[in-house]
Chains A and B, each alone.
Chain A
Amino acid sequence: MSKDDQILHSAVAGKAPAKEEASPSAFKLFFEEVAGIAQFTGHFFRELIKPPYEFKEFAKQAYLIGYKTLPLVGITGFIMGLVLTIQSRPTLSEFGAESWIPAMVSVSIVREIGPVITALIFAGKVGSGIGAELASMKVTEQIDAMEVSGINPFNYVVVTRVMAAMLMLPVLVIISDAIGLYGSYVGVNIKGDVSFHLYFLQAFEKLEFADVIPATIKTFVFGLAIGIIGCFKGYNSNKGTEGVGEAANSAVVIGSLCVFIIDMIAVQVTTLIYN
């Protein structure tokens, strides 16, 4: 092989694998991420059942999560109910079905809009907060400090936060649903006159256990997913201060995506069970 041939050869050889590598590496990264999250979740459940149980830290985190998110969830819940009512009034009144507004709004809020919107806000507020907090604890060696003092940081930091997220989201969803229904009541009364009592009679008339139970179970899973992803991103960040923003950002993006994916799966499962 002449020298020129060699150069040509290596140039071609050098180019070809690079092209091939580009897509598998993105693929590989994706699967590595999924495997990492799966492993992290496994680790979470193992630590969850193992003592010591950090009740105090759990309670503190649950309080902080509730306290920080409640106003936001309340406002969005109210607007959600109000807007939904105002938007659907023209269509329904065309059919003379205005009295259906409470039932329609309550079913859509309780089944779908309440859980999903609240979970998205939760991912934005709590998921990013957990991601950033853990990442900065990692950067400033606080996690290492716990580890060398013989305290399991996974148990103390991750388990408590994931549990708090998982148990607080359903509570927030219930509150958001209730405020949403109140918003809808206000919306109905902008152009009409329905008593509070009558409104809620109509709203709950069409609401069944089959709506409430799967919707509630779903919110636990949303909370679990958001907590796990926030912790996973923060706990595995090791890029210094830059990693803090990155962890917060990807905790929100992946967390929100997971909410939709879980929602899709939940819909399939509930229709399978109830039909």
Chain B
Amino acid sequence: MEDIVAEIKHLKKSFGTKEVLKDISVTLKKGENLVILGKSGTGKSVLIKCLVGLLAPDGGEITLLGKNIAELKDDELNEVRKKIGFLFQSAALYDSMTVRENLVFPLRGLKEKGSKEDNEKLVREALQNVGLEEAIDKMPSELSGGMRKRVGLARTLIMKPEIILYDEPTTGLDPITSKEISQLILDVQKKYNAAAIIITHDVECARITANRMMVIKNGITAAEGTFKELSNSEDEWVRSFFQ
């Protein structure tokens, strides 16, 4: 199938003697939102870090935008990465830069660099999307946890990525903002026809954003299906995520 933008086959990853991922396979189609559920510490973050090559898998094959990432040279991998947005669970803002500089930073990797005014416009637009225009000149240390998360989200979206990996986009946010962020994820999907993997514990977020869902348990895929299918699953353990 040609509309598959990312594919993980039989991924294995251990840290020392600890087997985190045993055998995980995921396909992500163009324009699709895939929500991944799983208990804390099951390796969801590890999974998406393997996907972009931040962690080297112990086994299995990863294809991103048609390229096997294990075979890419550094420069080629960087080119692929520019088309991918990654929201870190910790937001990972650059502490030594203001919010504006944080958002401009990924733009420096672009082939055709925009003018200063163009960049400023992009930054303002991105911040507007997450409702944080007034924080533009603040340092990350002056922001609350939720604000950091939203700035991280703005920084992820500013590159208009083809694939977006959200690591717990709504964790630590109030229900109203959470809902807005979930709505934003949905808007981004529609506007850019981007594909996304969303890791979340937030059922409301999953309900709004998911086209398809996947549950990871003990390093393997425990269940897969739509929100409706999984929330009515026969397996009590799977169902318990939705209560």
Binding site for B on A (CB under 8 A): 133, 136-137, 140-142, 144-152
Contact = CB atoms under 8 A, between A and B. Distances in A.
A150 B81 CA distance: 5
B109 A144 contact: no
7 contacts: A144-B49, A145-B88, A145-B92, A147-B81, A148-B54, A149-B81, A151-B106
Contacts of B86: 145, 148-149
Contact of A151 (B84, B88, B95, B108): B108
Contacts of B94: 137, 142, 145-146
B90 to A, nearest CB: 6
Contacts of A146: 94, 105
A33 B14 CA distance: 24
Interface string B73-111: 010001101101010101011111000000001101100
Given A141-B88, A144-B92, A148-B86, 5 more contacts: A141-B92, A144-B88, A148-B84, A149-B82, A151-B78
A233 B230 CA distance: 46
B88 A150 contact: no
B183 to A, nearest CB: 25
A149 B106 contact: yes
A140 B93 CA distance: 8
Given A140-B92, A141-B88, A141-B90, A147 B54 contact: yes
B92 A150 contact: no
A137 to B, nearest CB: 8
Size bin of chain B's contact surface: 20 to 34
B197 interface: no
Nearest to B96: A133
Name, among A136, A141, A144, A148, the residue most crowded by chain B CB atoms within 10 Å (CB to CB): A148
A152 B54 contact: no
B26 to A, nearest CB: 18
B205 interface: no
B106 A150 contact: yes
B13 to A, nearest CB: 16
A136 B49 CA distance: 19
B6 interface: no
Given A144-B54, A145-B86, A151 B92 contact: no
A142 B95 contact: yes
Nearest to A50: B75
Contacts of B95: 136-137, 140, 142
Nearest to A54: B108
A140 B102 CA distance: 14
Name, among B81, B92, B105, B159, the residue most crowded by chain A CB atoms within 10 Å (CB to CB): B92
A132 B50 CA distance: 27
A150 B90 contact: no
B79 A142 contact: no
B196 interface: no
Given A142-B95, A144-B88, A151 B105 contact: yes
A47 to B, nearest CB: 10
Nearest to B108: A151
A149 B105 CA distance: 9
